[in-house]
Structure 1
Amino acid sequence: MGEYMFWAIRGGGGGSFGIIVAWKLQLVPVPKTVTLYTVNRILEQNATKVVHKWQTIAHKLPMEFYSGITFAPIDIDGHQGTKKSVVASFHASFLSTIDDDLLPIMQEKFPELELLREDCTGMSWLQSILYMGLLPNDTLNILLDRTYKNPLLSPSFKAKSDYVTEPIPETAFEGIWERLLEKEAHSATISLIAYGGIMDGIASSATPYPHRDGILYKIVYSLGWAVEDNERWEWYVNWSRRLYNYMGPFVSKSPRRAYISYRDVDIGRNDENGETSYEEARVWGIKYFMDSFDKLARVKTMIDPDNFFRHEQSIPTLSSSSNMEL
């Protein structure tokens, strides 16, 4: 297919360059047993300070870590009845053992989490995929079932994304909690996914995906709703947009970056037929691909000059007068 096509399809967004019928993957070794943990802290348990600390250490943990936090509204019982709060679920997958490796590292690097052995579970790497994906763990065959629909996930949802390059101020999290406690957010989640590790060692131009070096973590904002609430979809989507606007001062800038796999047409789109100019598409394109967007447009023009493969955020072709040098 040529080096440029091969470069473009490894992170350049689906549906722009053709139909891929097979992949050949180079696997990497994993240990026989990996360790996972989940530690929940509500606001009343000093969650805000622990979250703020996580920002400064998660991207510096050993490369064997895959670390994150998920925020969600929760009802808690108190002396005066039920009230709403926010739970921060700290979770990680670690490619090693509990006692000899994980606990000593966490006690040194992140004592604020107060991780205990009973918070940790050892399992195979494949079983960890079920655990992290909230899938039933009675059989691994569910990973081969393309028709399976997770009953824990809403059939309709809105997702948006951000990248963080500097720790968010502790006071800014208070604004996040306020929005998660609004009525519209009863099924909302906000996930922080730590970067660092090997991500810092891969050049931003190695593939079209550029968000690596210097990124502390990625954020995904997600809000789902039931089928019977579809007529009120704007009510939910507007909540997501208001939260996204609030987060503007605390995330990446010039451009404000976004993750292509959480497709978000709020940041720009082609017309109904998937047609657009390079200049129009660049508004959203550089948010997904940064400097790689220009090269993607050149590859697109070279292999699909008639723009046959197109959709609302497909890579555009260049005009004949544009510089085609790759």
Structure 2
Amino acid sequence: MKLQIFFSSKLAFFTSIFLLLSIPHAVSADRSNHTGFLQCLSLRLNDSNIVSKVIHTPNDSSFSSVLTSLIQNQRFSAPDTPKPVLILTPVQPSHVQSAVKCARRYGIHIRTRSGGHDYEGLSYVTHKPFVVIDLRNLRSIAIDVDNRSVWVQTGATIGELYYEIGRKNKTLAFPAGVCPTVGVGGHFSGGGYGTLLRKHGLAADHVTDARVVDARGRILGRREMGEDFFWAIRGGGGSSFCVVLSWKIGLIDVPSRLTVFNVTKFSEQSALKIIHRWQFVSDKVSDDLFVRVMLQRYKNMVRASFPGLYLGSVTNLLKLVNREFPELGLEKRDCKEMSWIESVVWFAELGEEPIDVLRKRTRASLSFKAKSDFVQEPMPEIAVSKIWRRLQEPEAEFAQLIFTPFGGKMSEISDYETPFPHRKGNVYEIQYLNYWRRGEEKEKCMRWVERVYDEMSGFVARSPRGAYINLRDLDLGMYVGVKRSKYEEGKSWGVKYFKNNFERLVRVKTSVDPFDFFCDEQSIPTLKSVQVM
């Protein structure tokens, strides 16, 4: 009886909400589909206590907090941003199975959210009625130190993963990103890189197994899904193919003590000299050394920072830098020895906090727009100088450019090993970012990013001009379905993200999800689209 009363309250909500949302001719069909989905899902869960914890509709007090707590780009928290008609927060894998089976049966569009860091909000925003599967409760982490492996559920953050590794062992690590609140689900499925990429490659390079729910609602491991499917989700964007429940990853060795450092310059002349030399050595120097370039404003001045990590002692670092990169001007006072897990906190700019800070789930407070590029030949000083001038503009108050060096292990792994193709031949990657606080600043801040991106076109990779899927950019294109097939549309940006790997991803998609159940504005298309986005 309790479950029936719960169903009635939820169904009453869906009846009212779809009368408001649906166009007149579709009211009956939409209402039938969505109430049917809710009833199907609730009956499969078969426990009113569980249902009330995992199903959240807009008339529930929990809905707003569940939705907004993982919106990591406030550009998508505006009142006019489309909201889901339901959020599901599964507490066990079978709940995800039920959601997929019921959604497919009733033609419901779903989005899957891990940490909420999709740069264009596609894990929780779209312009059609949709349901969000929010995986925050599926976040267990099981570490096998003896076998140097971990099973981590998709709802965990990389900060939580790092914390558990660091707590268990001081000489094991994992090569993923620097932002601890990023969810492992999207991060691993797009490739994932951080301070260890020159030594150990991408996060996806170290995924050895996975458990997924496919478009038929089956839970599959690597053996059941097959090698093509497994290949596709390690860099091709898992949300195009399935819901990834968990990843098995291999850990890597790090010294018990390593060195972090930072050099800062406010003089344009000094900074340009260092950046010029950095472009010639950062991808060729010992792969124990990682040095980033960060350009941004600080107290109304442009600041160039050169944060880095070295897998060794301060003494050996200074010898290496003085020999290979003396222009950096690195001194002992710029350096600090610490453990790998402490370096994670340092790179995340979390201050002198204990490593427990990596477990905190915080919500970003700013809106932003981002783009990406890959550089294959050092750009001239005049190009960097132009960036410096752009950073002095009023709308660049919170803008940032990040140059991430490649080379090392990244040049040793084939472009076809995983869907991430930007390997050998790429000197570094550029990330263009601009942040703002107030809604009225949006247009000018976004135009600033576009201008800088356009001005760099002559100095970056071409044919295609590459982009990184984890730094998603809808300016590259999205499905509109007017004159071209979905495959033709998707290829225009798909080759920028995946180059020649795009065609294999399309074949995998066509094989494992022929009816295009898992889709979004930039998902991998099937060879013959069943439905246009």
Q: What TM-score do the two structures reach when normalised by structure 1?
A: 0.89
Distance between the aligned counterparts of 2:522 and 2:366, measured in 1? 22
Determine the structure 2 residue equivalent to 1:107: 322
SS at match of 1:60: coil
| Residue of 215, 222, 228 corresponding to 2:433 | 222
Letter in 1 for 2:335: C
Q: Which has the larger radius of gyration?
A: 2
Letter in 1 for 2:356: N
Distance between the aligned counterparts of 2:421 and 2:277, measured in 1? 26
Contact 1:161 1:259 in 2 (8 A): yes
CA drift of 1:276 comes to: 5.9
CA drift of 1:138 comes to: 1.8
Distance between the aligned counterparts of 1:244 and 1:91, measured in 2? 23
SS at match of 1:15: helix
CA drift of 1:142 comes to: 2.5
The answer to whether the aligner puts 1:205 opposite 2:429 as a matched pair is no
Determine the structure 2 residue equivalent to 1:80: none
| Residue of 306, 311, 330 corresponding to 1:90 | 306
Contact 1:63 1:197 in 2 (8 A): yes
Distance between the aligned counterparts of 1:154 and 1:111, measured in 2? 39
CA drift of 1:154 comes to: 4.5
| Residue of 291, 295, 298 corresponding to 2:500 | 291
Contact 1:43 1:85 in 2 (8 A): no
Q: C-alpha deviations, 1:144-169, integer Å up to 9, x for none?
A: 23x223xxx64210010000000000
Contact 1:154 1:225 in 2 (8 A): no
Letter in 2 for 1:109: E
Letter in 2 for 1:210: P
Distance between the aligned counterparts of 1:239 and 1:168, measured in 2? 20
Letter in 1 for 2:349: L
CA drift of 1:67 comes to: 1.7
CA drift of 1:87 comes to: 1.2
SS at match of 1:258: coil
Q: Which has the higher contact order (CA 8 A, sep 6+)?
A: 1
Letter in 2 for 1:148: T
Contact 2:345 2:353 in 1 (8 A): no
| Residue of 277, 295, 302 corresponding to 1:53 | 277
Determine the structure 2 residue equivalent to 1:305: 514
Distance between the aligned counterparts of 1:37 and 1:185, measured in 2? 26
Letter in 2 for 1:138: E
Contact 1:270 1:276 in 2 (8 A): no
* Higher mean displacement: 298-307 or 39-48: 39-48
Determine the structure 1 residue equivalent to 2:341: 126
Distance between the aligned counterparts of 1:157 and 1:276, measured in 2? 31
Determine the structure 2 residue equivalent to 1:17: 241
The answer to whether the aligner puts 1:157 opposite 2:371 as a matched pair is no
Distance between the aligned counterparts of 2:432 and 2:267, measured in 1? 19
Distance between the aligned counterparts of 1:44 and 1:310, measured in 2? 45
Tell me: CA distance 1:309–1:136, structure 2 relative to 1, closer, same or farther (3 Å): farther
User: RMSD of the TM alignment (CA)?
Assistant: 1.6
**Identity rate, percent:** 43
CA drift of 1:119 comes to: 0.3
Mapping 1:147-296, distance limit 5 Å: 147-149=361-363, 154-226=365-437, 229-271=438-480, 277-296=486-505
CA drift of 1:114 comes to: 1.1
Letter in 2 for 1:3: E
Distance between the aligned counterparts of 2:269 and 2:447, measured in 1? 30
Tell me: CA distance 1:249–1:29, structure 2 relative to 1, closer, same or farther (3 Å): same
Contact 1:276 1:316 in 2 (8 A): no
Distance between the aligned counterparts of 1:141 and 1:278, measured in 2? 46
Q: C-alpha deviations, 1:58-77, integer Å up to 9, x for none?
A: 001111122211001234xx
Q: C-alpha deviations, 1:73-96, integer Å up to 9, x for none?
A: 234xxxxxxxx5321101111111
CA drift of 1:133 comes to: 1.4
Determine the structure 1 residue equivalent to 2:267: 43
Q: C-alpha deviations, 1:237-276, integer Å up to 9, x for none?
A: 111001100000010001100011000000111249xx96
Gaps of 5+ in 2: 1-224
Q: C-alpha deviations, 1:194-220, integer Å up to 9, x for none?
A: 000111100000000000101000000
Letter in 1 for 2:246: A
Distance between the aligned counterparts of 2:318 and 2:237, measured in 1? 39
CA drift of 1:143 comes to: 2.0
Letter in 1 for 2:321: M
CA drift of 1:46 comes to: 1.5
Distance between the aligned counterparts of 2:450 and 2:238, measured in 1? 25
Contact 2:268 2:388 in 1 (8 A): no
Determine the structure 1 residue equivalent to 2:291: 67
Contact 1:142 1:148 in 2 (8 A): no
Distance between the aligned counterparts of 1:181 and 1:127, measured in 2? 34
SS at match of 1:53: helix
| Residue of 256, 264, 274 corresponding to 1:32 | 256
CA drift of 1:45 comes to: 5.5
Letter in 2 for 1:89: S
Contact 1:160 1:263 in 2 (8 A): yes
Tell me: CA distance 1:116–1:136, structure 2 relative to 1, closer, same or farther (3 Å): closer
**Residues matched between the structures, number:** 303
SS at match of 1:210: coil
Tell me: CA distance 1:16–1:42, structure 2 relative to 1, closer, same or farther (3 Å): same
Distance between the aligned counterparts of 2:287 and 2:337, measured in 1? 18
SS at match of 1:261: helix
Distance between the aligned counterparts of 1:137 and 1:299, measured in 2? 46
